[in-house]
Amino acid sequence: MVILNVLMHKSIILNFLLIFQISKYTCESPNKANHEKQKYTRASQWTHYLELIDGAVSKYEDCYNEGCACFASVLSDDFAVWHQREQVTQDDFNAARSYGVHYQIINHKLYRQDDCMFPFRCSGVEHFILEIMSELPDMEIIINVKDWPQVSLHQKPLPVFSFSKVPDHHWDIMYPAWTFWEGGPAVWPIYPTGLGRWDLQRDIITRAAEEWPWDKKEDKAFFRGSRTSAERDPLVLLSRREPDLVDAQYTKNQAWKSDEDTLYRPPATEVKLEEHCKYRYLFNFRGVAASFRYKHLFLCNSTVFNVGNDWLEFFYPALKPWVHYIPVKPDLSDARDLLLFAKHNQEAVKKVADRGRQFIIDHLRLEDVSCYWKLLLQKYAKLLSFKPTLNNNYKQIKGS
């Protein structure tokens, strides 16, 4: 009897232990399984983006800087139509006359029509031409200093130089914008006389980046600018919904009339480019044409999120998606996902930031800009089938 009692007692204890084990299993296992599953889903959720980075980086070869070779493909693309036609004739040139400012280079001297709608832009352009004057043959050029490119692919090609274009829409030949030297947009009160010289901005922003190493930066996306294009709206709206993820706000520009122009909110305070370095993810968008902010953003050593890839300046094609920047769809439908990816994959996106910054530091110096101007004008001059005759009404430009 005693033995039976002991056995029964033992079996109760065993049963209890068994039940406890099962309940422990049933209570813990789903959580553990969930956790593993979540870990797996989280990892696999980002695999696609990580593969895009790895794939792009493994294919990428840094360009050889000598002779501004990094940008050579842009020259060939922009001149392709003229190479096919074998020359730029006097008729082609005359047809282009009304689309920009007329310059002549004769005997290593620069001449220009009297009026230029934007004098600081013209002098920003002239700075670079004067610098290389001794190496330029005689030629005539039409330089468009408006923001908007001039020659649609729907019309016959015309030899017009513009700072920005959409290659699928325009024949314009790209030149490095005036703003590398002067005539950049005036933004009151932070840049009352324009963005300022690129070499000086490089120094200012590089110093600011040192104050804001990655670990100190806010883990947030940032954008400040005016509503030059409604393509920027989805980011501003995302910022209103999720301010911890993005701080994107509209500022005033000269065209501002009411809160409608800042998407029904009062204009935000302007923030200098060097102060953007405080944030890990910086957004670039086209404005009226390509935005001058793009090159500056890389200097912060933050990751650049570039929206759309249609509007170009001459140096854009050398910067590669996933290698130097994170590409974002023009409608921003993937922006939130990409930001979450960045937050969960800091090491990978920090490397994108490092490569982007290094490219701009190594390959977009003022001397690279001058180098591009030289190749551009020398190549163009070879295509001209006529010799310019000095227009006596034009004044010689000597620079300051």
Using CB under 6 A, list all residues that contact ligand UDP.
185, 187, 190, 195, 224-226, 228, 251, 253, 270-273, 287-288, 291-293
Minimal distance, residue 25 CB to ligand UDP, in Å: 58
d(CA 380, CA 374): 10
Q: What is the DSSP string of 35-49?
A: HHHHHHHHHHHHHHH
Handedness of CA 393, 179, 203, 295 (dihedral sign): negative
Name the H helices within the chain. 2-59, 72-85, 90-96, 119-131, 198-211, 233-241, 293-299, 335-344, 346-363, 366-383
Residue number, 104 or 291, with CB nearest to ligand UDP: 291
Residue number, 79 or 283, with CB nearest to ligand UDP: 283
The reply to whether omega before 267 is within 30° of 0 (cis) is no
d(CA 127, CA 133): 10
Q: How far are the Cα atoms of 143, 183, 286 from residue 113, in angstroms, in the given order?
A: 11, 19, 31
Residue number, 144 or 253, with CB nearest to ligand UDP: 253
> Which residue's C-beta sits nearest to ligand UDP?
287
Yes or no: say if 110 and 133 are a contact pair by the CB < 8 Å rule: yes
Q: What is the DSSP string of 29-91?
A: HHHHHHHHHHHHHHHHHHHHHHHHHHHHHHH--PPP-GGGGGGHHHHHHHHHHHHHH--B-HH
| Catalytic position from the list 62, 78, 114, 147 | 147
Minimal distance, residue 334 CB to ligand UDP, in Å: 21
Residue number, 360 or 371, with CB nearest to ligand UDP: 360
Cross-strand pairs, 321: 325
Minimal distance, residue 275 CB to ligand UDP, in Å: 8
Residue number, 315 or 322, with CB nearest to ligand UDP: 315
Active site residue 147: yes
Both tokens assigned to 374: 């030289």
Minimal distance, residue 166 CB to ligand UDP, in Å: 15
Residue number, 77 or 233, with CB nearest to ligand UDP: 233
Minimal distance, residue 366 CB to ligand UDP, in Å: 18
Catalytic sites, residue numbers: 147
